[in-house]
Structure 1
Amino acid sequence: MFLHLGRDVIVPKKDIVAILDIRSQSSAITREFLDMALEEDFIVNISEPGKEKTYVITDNKIYLSPISCPTLKKRSL
């Protein structure tokens, strides 16, 4: 099965590690993780600037999605 993250991006559900609300990035450890992922070019922004609602961590990428966390979780069931 696959999960549609927005903007024609679909990932295999088995590759998803976590679906997190963008507001949770205020934690210092989360911010450090995301900064490191950005430096290593692991982040793919599939939403318009300022419209990011969720980040989806997969085995090899982190996607910034315009779709809300609850909606993605419902789609994954």
Structure 2
Amino acid sequence: MYIHIGADRMIRAAELIAIFDVNIEQSSKISSEYMEHAREQGRVVQVGEEEVKSIVMTQDQIYYSPISSTTLKKRLNHIF
């Protein structure tokens, strides 16, 4: 199964590790350091050009999604 995370991007639900609200990056020093390290490794992907609302983590990539974390979680509930 796949989940649409914005623009033309879909990911396999089996690869999904976590979905976070984008504010977690700003509210936690550890989270911001982790994201900076991931950017340096080239693992962060911006989905579309709209305002970022959530962070979607998979095994290989981290996506900045324009879809809210609540909406993405609801989509997952329909899959499972």
Alignment gaps of 5+ in structure 2 = none
Residue in 1 that maps onto 2:6: 6
Alignment gaps of 5+ in structure 1 = none
- Deviation, 1:47, is 3.0
Normalising by structure 1, report the TM-score. 0.95
Residue in 1 that maps onto 2:57: 57
Aligned length, in residue pairs: 76
Q: Deviations over 1:12-49 (max 9, x none)?
A: 00100000000011200000000000000000001326
Secondary structure class of the residue paired with 2:48: coil
Identity of aligned residues (%): 37
Is 1:33 aligned to residue 34 of structure 2?
A: yes
Instruction: Point out 4+ residue stretches in structure 1 off by more than 6 angstroms.
Output: none
| CA root-mean-square deviation | 0.9
User: Residue 41 of structure 1 aligns to which amino acid in structure 2?
Assistant: G
Residue in 1 that maps onto 2:49: 48
